[in-house]
Every structure is written in C-alpha cells, then in structure tokens.
Chains A and B, each alone.
Chain A
Amino acid sequence: QKEVEQNSGPLSVPEGAIASLNCTYSDRGSQSFFWYRQYSGKSPELIMSIYSNGDKEDGRFTAQLNKASQYVSLLIRDSQPSDSATYLCAVLSSNYQLIWGAGTKLIIKP
C-alpha cells in the first residue's frame, strides 16, 4: 500500500516566523513530489514541485527532498496570516498516480 503521511496539526506559528511542514512517503520508486495549498472551502492549488534531492526555493517557499530518508518538507519564511490553510503533500507514484497525504492545517497567528 503506497502511502503519504503528514501530521494533521493544527500547526500554529506566529506571524513573521518560519513554518515547517513535513511529509514521509513509502514508495521508493517515486520521483516527483508536490506541495498543494488548500484554503477552507476551496480546491487545492499547486505551490511547489521538487524532483531532485536538496532544496528548491521559490519566493518565501522552500521545498526540501531527501529520497534516502523518503522525506519531503516545505518551509514558509516570514509567515503571513494569508498562509493559513491546509498544506497537502502529494507524491507521483511509479504508475503515475498522485498519492495524497491527509494534509497539515497551518494557522498563522498575528
């Protein structure tokens, strides 16, 4: 059973601090990893993708991948109240299906 696991939270972070979100996956054949953001009552939207070990930065967001540890993380710097949402980790399996975690609810406190 291919799985993606995330801490459901909520994760509460003060405004301006760094939010750190984590995800582990079970399928060692996975090569592509994604972070989606979902606001309450809305549909998911893609915010980051990462394909190689190491860090990938895009503005205030940094995705980190460690394939040996089967671990993906998302860092949000200078957290803003508008970052409050559920963050979904998704992994593209070896048969090209997206496997989703349950999501981590992030709350940024002003």
Chain B
Amino acid sequence: DIQMTQSPSSLSASVGDRITISCRASQGIGNDLGWFQQKPGKAPKRLIHAASRLQSEVPSRFSGSRSGTEFTLTISGLQPEDFATYYCLQLNAVPVTFGQGTRLEIE
C-alpha cells in the first residue's frame, strides 16, 4: 500500500496567517492527490484534486502544489472558518490512502 506521511500533525495559527501542510508519498503517485477539510462532528469536504485543482466552491485562498512525491496545501490569509482538520488522499493505487491528518487550531 502507498503510505502518506502528513506533517505537521497539529498547527496553531492566527486569523490572517499563511500556513502550509505537507504530505509525502512513499512512492511516486504523479498528481493523484486530493485534500479534504473536516470540522468536528462533520463529514469531510473536498477541497482540491489532482494536486492543485481547486473545487469550484472552495475559496481561492486555498491552493495545492507538488514537488516530486511531496505535496503541499497552502492557506493564505486564514479565516475563522478554516480552523479544522485537513487530510490528504492519494488516488494512484487501490487502496486509496489518507495521510494522518493535520489539526489546525487558533493560536
């Protein structure tokens, strides 16, 4: 199975900050990666697919990028509604696998 190593596991930031979350794949997966947001007690919500393609309803302060097997989710100008847990998901092989999650908290 492809392992996704996500970091950091938690992150404290303030409204207006720029933050980055990383996921490293255990092997090459091309651009077959998505990002999801989950708020406490809620279902996950899709943000980005194909490493950098923003879903249509997602604010442009979210962006994704790739360098080799390392993927980055960036949020520029944090808003109060952005404080949540974020997961990456690789789609290159079955089973699709998630990173461990990054909990983004208000500082």
A binds B: no
